[in-house]
Structure formats: C-alpha cells, structure tokens
Chains A and B, each alone.
Chain A
Amino acid sequence: MSASHAKSIAASFASGALFAVGLGIAGMTQPSKVIGFLDLFGAWDASLAFVMIGAIGVYVVLYRVITKRTSPLFDARFHLPTRRDLDRRLLLGSAIFGIGWGLGGYCPGPGLVAAGSGSLVALAFVLSMAVGMKLEQWVAARTW
C-alpha cells in the first residue's frame, strides 16, 4: 500500500470520526430531537435547523477554498456531481427517504453512529437500511 493510499484511508477515517463527534454534540444521534424538529405542528424543536445552519455555514466557506485547488490531496481530480436535471427518481427517492426518516428518527449517519455506540435498535436500523439499499440497487440494475 502506498503512503498516499494509506493517508487517504486515514483521512477518511478521521472525517468519519469527526463527523460522528459533530452529530453527537449536535444531539442528532437522538431520534427524539430529530422527530422534535419534524413535529412542526406539535412540540417543535428547531435545533436541527441550527445544525444545518452551522454545517452549511462552515462548508460553504471551506468548499470555495478547497475547490480552488487543482486536485484534492489524495486523488488526481475532484469527483463532484454535475447533474442538474430534476427527475422523478430524485423526487420519489427523497420522499421515500423522508418518510423513513420521520418514522424512525434516524438517517444514515446518525444510525451508524448510534449503532457504534452499542444501540441494538440503531443496529437494526442500519441492517434494514443496507437491505433497502441493496434492493434499490437490484431494482435499478433491472429497470433504469
């Protein structure tokens, strides 16, 4: 394994661990805080909006700085999405995700972090999420 390959793996791990810490500080690993945000007509907790504001605020600035480079640290080039079309898959997929998110209070990141903390419920979520993902990949290979 080259030094650069090893460093890219280490950097990926560090990003994941830092991401987990951020989620934990933000309270996003608690489904009740997420459901609280989504309970617009009930006991509303706006905290999640502030998490997004904090994240976007930082990322907007750093994104501009980082993408001025010709390449990232451990790859030959940037691999950023270029699609701009709005299709049914995007709308339907996002809606289906939103329903699952509203039901369980977990989305992929927090689910994985909570599973790491030893929560069996979160582990069940992650395993089901993996099955759902495989199912979509299987369907996609056959239809679109």
Chain B
Amino acid sequence: MHNFTPYSALLGGAVIGLASALFLLSLGRVCGVSGLFGGLLRRGADIPWQRAAFVGGLVVGGALLRLVYPHAFAARETIATAATAATQALPWLSALPPWAIVVPAGLLVGFGTQLGNGCTSGHGICGISRLAPRSMVATASFMAAGFATVFVVRHVLGGAS
C-alpha cells in the first residue's frame, strides 16, 4: 500500500463528521458542500447568508491551514491529477498544464453534483450515515466512475503498470 495514513485519515474524518453534525444541529440540514455552494449560485435559494458563511468557512479554513499546516496541500509543481500522473503517457497528455485538466474536471464536478443532488459530503457521509438509498447508490456510482476514470487515464491511456 502506498502512502497509507490511517490515523490522520480517521482523525480528519472524525473532525469532518463533527463539522457536519454541528451544521445539522445548527441549521437542521445535510452538510452537502455541492448543495450548499450550488444554492449560493441559484437565485431564490434559501439560507443564502448561512451558505455564504459555510463556504467562507471552508475558504478561510484553507487560508488558516496554509499558515499552520501547509503540508496539507500539494506542492504547486506536483498537482497529481490522474492525467498528469500518467507516466508513459501519450506525450501531449503528460505535458498538459494542471489547469487544462482541472477546468474540464471542475465543469464535470459542477454539472454532475447538481444533477445527482450531492457529492462526497452530502451523499457519501451524511447520506450513508442516514442509510438513504439514494445516497448509497449515488456513492457507489461516483466511486465506480472515479475508479474507472483513473484506471483509463493512468493505465490504459497512460500505460502505467
């Protein structure tokens, strides 16, 4: 197993669970980042100030982490997306700059999370915890798609062993 960090993963996960529970206790809603952010973009969505504050918390949290725990972030030169990590890739693929990957990735994530009504936080954590059938199916679906995408890009196209 590569780069396996079970303890920090469990601890970080527990903190995420706690944050989600705090949100549930306060606003009575699922702590789904895509839903909260998407609602900010949509005219007439409810709790706009609370959505903005939550998103603001994520962003400010990121700034804080940069100050006290910069190790949490990827070094600028080593954004290891599935595409750029392809080793014996088609030359043009491994030579792509990071933004050429994350812009299409962002479009897909944005479109898909709205269409599917959730992401790893809303479906994967809150939904599964509630044993919601829609969330369990959604999670299986995006996990399978994620596995398949990395497999195709890294191993089929990229030729990594």
Interface residues of chain A, those whose CB is within 8 Å of chain B, are 5, 8-33, 35-36, 38-60, 62-63, 66-67, 71-75, 77-81, 83-86, 89-109, 111-122, 124-137, 140
Contacts and interface: CB of A to CB of B under 8 A. Distances in A.
B65 A24 contact: yes
Given A12-B27, A125-B109, 14 more contacts: A9-B49, A35-B82, A35-B85, A36-B2, A47-B8, A67-B24, A72-B25, A94-B137, A97-B112, A98-B112, A103-B108, A112-B58, A121-B98, A131-B110
B114 interface: yes
Contact of A38 (B134, B150, B161): B150
Interface residues of B, number: 120
A80 B145 CA distance: 27
A22 B62 contact: no
Contacts of A24: 12, 61-62, 65, 69, 72
Interface in B79-131: 79-83, 85, 98-99, 101-121, 123-130
B134 A90 contact: yes
Interface of B: 1-6, 8-31, 33-34, 37-38, 41-42, 47, 49-51, 53-66, 69-70, 72-74, 76, 78-83, 85, 98-99, 101-121, 123-130, 132-134, 137-139, 141-151, 153-155, 160-161
Nearest to A77: B28
A81 B123 CA distance: 11
25 contacts: A5-B49, A15-B26, A20-B57, A20-B58, A22-B16, A24-B61, A32-B80, A47-B3, A51-B9, A58-B13, A80-B28, A91-B116, A96-B108, A97-B115, A98-B112, A98-B143, A105-B80, A108-B121, A109-B33, A112-B33, A112-B37, A117-B63, A121-B98, A132-B111, A133-B110
Contacts of B125: 52, 55-56, 59
Contacts of B146: 38, 98-99, 101-102
Contacts of A31: 74, 79-81
B54 A15 contact: yes
Given A29-B73, A116-B61, A96 B116 contact: yes
A133 B8 contact: no
By Cβ-Cβ distance, the 4 closest A-B pairs, closest first, are A16-B57, A20-B61, A132-B110, A54-B13
Contacts of B116: 89-97
A17 B150 CA distance: 30
A98 B129 contact: no
Contacts of B38: 133, 137
B129 to A, nearest CB: 4
Contact of A137 (B41, B126, B139): B41
